[in-house]
Chains A and B, each alone.
Chain A
Amino acid sequence: MSKITLSRALNEGLRRSLENDPKVMIMGEDVGRLGGVFRVTDGLQKDFGEHRVVDTPLAESGIVGTAIGLALRGYRPVCEIQFDGFVYPATDQIVSQLAKMRYRSRGSVTLPVVIRIPFGGGIGAVEHHSESPEVFFAHTAGLRVVACADPADAFAMIQLAIAADDPVIFFEPKRRYWDKAEVDMAAPLSDALPLDKARMVHAGDDVTLLSYGPLVRTCLEAALAAREDGRSIEVIDLRSLSPLDMATIEASVARTGRCVIAHEAPVYAGLGAEIAARVTEHCFYSLEAPVLRVGGFAIPYPPATAEEYYLPDLDRILDAVDRTFAY
């Protein structure tokens, strides 16, 4: 066991995948010589060569479009989109081609492509570098959408995503890249929690708090803070945003009777809305209060000096928790 950063854990996971399967490739802007702007692919081109770790031209549609072609040829490309706000030029290739080609071909085409996207704010960046576009992809049938939250899970999840035969949009919480934790790199991947399962990260009895990506840590901090006030929060890391693991969510809410969902993406038409509708339908007789959401406002991502007002923090999350007890 060793204590490593989330960025390093992803790097080790990618390395493991490159070692285990000669068809795995990494491609993207600056992923080779530079090792990626967040150093997630650091050293991989040196060890696996320019043919497997490809510095691409600066064109996101090209990255995803050529990854599809490589997958048609039998490769398993892992694409890096440098920042969340730069994925939109690739949207057509992702939504119209990557997501639908299996369906269109009635199963004769398999596209095991992973698209890694650092997402979320809190790093004081300029515009287009702090967004949370996950719902666009969760709304697209044919894609799997996941978000990792901590180093140990990131190490397993990236390998599971690469091994999956479906296209996976893999969100990485960029402000948590430098968080450190113990990662058991000797643990067999077969023991890892499957990619489409949520996991309870903090047990509690009074309210279920759901989140994913960068806010999982914030929710854990909120749970610890609430404990001092005698309130017991159960925190669940969704991990999979499409499909949602509703069984895990509903089992928890059925027990606690309250549910709060936190994400950085705008609340309006966000993932929280989908979860709230499903929880309301399936846990109706267990609920003591309406399902509440806390997240970004219905505005474009604000300038960096104002992002603290936009991003849900510990206090805003606990405020939502408090409100569920007001009913």
Chain B
Amino acid sequence: MATPPHGHDEKEWHVTTETVQLLTPEGERVDHPDYPLGDVDIKGMYRDMVLVRRIDTEAIALQRQGELGLWASLLGQEAAQIGSARALSPRDMAFPSYREHGVAWCRGLDPLRLLEMFRGVNNGAWDPKEHKFHLYTVVIGDQTLHATGYAMGIQRDGSEDEAVIVYFGDGATSQGDVSEAFAWSSVFNAPLVFFCQNNQFAISAPPERQSRVPIFQRSSGFGFPGIQVDGNDVLACYAVTRQAMRAAREGQGPTLIEAFTYRMGAHTTTDDPTRYRMASELETWRLRDPIERVRSYLARNGEADSAFFEQVAEEADELAAKLRAACLALPDPPPLALFDHVYAGDNAILDAERAQFAAYLAGFEDEGAAR
């Protein structure tokens, strides 16, 4: 059948009608016909989740003690982050927002790099190429376009064994850039997975303020599949992401995954969630804790004994102590480093300002020496 010159290729897509779940809040395994789990390292997932929660707890303490300027807690989102990130291959590229400490962990980034940013000694200065983990992006939704462009680059390179995942939240879905990224990745069939952690809060605003339809259904209007997954179920997040990434690598274009979860902590350490949510709501979600259900599963099925859980807890405390010490030892940047890395090439205006500021600073040194 001939296609009209300006017509669209026929492509079928669907959105799920149910939330994908492979592990119940009580820790019982359930199967899903579309998402077979196969052989996975559930103990390893448990360990990752415990460690990143411990990093998170330590970072909040450091902020309360004045050692960090700010911290954005991931509490409650461990399963969404560890499950999805463990589904990536080393060649895949991840674009985070600013709360993806669990994804950073799975990509092999030293958590100290995250603390540097929140301590204010730099702006989050790691090399994205080193761990295939892009810089944290603070302006909401901007990174979805960067991920789309990167995925277009993969297409141009003719690479068939890598894809891109981009993380964003429920609030970000209202940003124009996210809609643009949906449209672009769809029309170019880019190898990209949109991973939306719907933690149910854009600071204080609920998802109902962002969208009249469930977020995962948004993809339908753009012409690609959308799936809702239990975001507190690390197995489901893993299985769904693995399948979407595989589809992207195989040339089937983008997928939107909505991981339905809950931000158990504050938006950041400056926030006071008691102003906009009931304590009882938080209690309800504590019963769906992403770590507890894995622990229940492992214990119930005899896959892990108390020695394992104790060993992971010890490891977590050691990691936190090491991280704290390293954080406190971070040097402040020297004043003239302010002027570094603005441009790749020379800039006469900036060079003149640096020289002038250096002379100004040197004046104080001379003054000190004269005394």
* CB nearest neighbor in A for B138: A96
B184 with A108: CB separation less than 8 A: no
B342 with A196: CB separation less than 8 A: no
* CB nearest neighbor in A for B157: A73
CB distance from B96 to the nearest CB of A (A): 13
A27–B39 Cα gap in the complex (Å)? 44
A243 with B123: CB separation less than 8 A: no
CB distance from B347 to the nearest CB of A (A): 5
B156 with A103: CB separation less than 8 A: no
Q: Does A92 contact B (CB under 8 A)?
A: yes
A65 with B146: CB separation less than 8 A: yes
CB neighbors of B among A234-288 (8 A): 242-247
A70–B340 Cα gap in the complex (Å)? 24
A53–B292 Cα gap in the complex (Å)? 52
Give the number of residues in A that approach B within 8 Å (Cβ atoms): 49
Q: Does B265 contact A (CB under 8 A)?
A: no
A74 with B153: CB separation less than 8 A: yes
Q: Does B281 contact A (CB under 8 A)?
A: no
B145 with A65: CB separation less than 8 A: yes
A144 with B343: CB separation less than 8 A: yes
B349 with A244: CB separation less than 8 A: yes
CB neighbors of A among B235-249 (8 A): none
Partner of B153, one of A59, A73, A102, A104: A73
Collect the chain B residues with CB atoms within 8 Å of residue A164's CB. Answer: 344-345
A108 with B177: CB separation less than 8 A: no
* CB nearest neighbor in A for B344: A165
Q: Does B298 contact A (CB under 8 A)?
A: no
CB distance from A276 to the nearest CB of B (A): 15
CB distance from A32 to the nearest CB of B (A): 13
Partner of B350, one of A57, A77, A243: A243
A68 with B125: CB separation less than 8 A: no
Q: Does B329 contact A (CB under 8 A)?
A: no
A-B residue pairs in contact (CB < 8 Å), sample of 26: A62-B180, A64-B145, A65-B144, A65-B148, A65-B180, A66-B152, A68-B149, A69-B146, A69-B147, A69-B149, A72-B153, A73-B156, A77-B149, A93-B145, A102-B342, A103-B123, A105-B124, A105-B125, A106-B340, A106-B341, A108-B126, A108-B128, A109-B127, A141-B350, A142-B343, A247-B348
Residues of chain A touching chain B, judged by Cβ–Cβ distance below 8 Å, are 25, 51, 56-57, 59, 61-62, 64-75, 77, 89, 92-93, 96-97, 100-110, 141-142, 144, 164-166, 196, 242-247
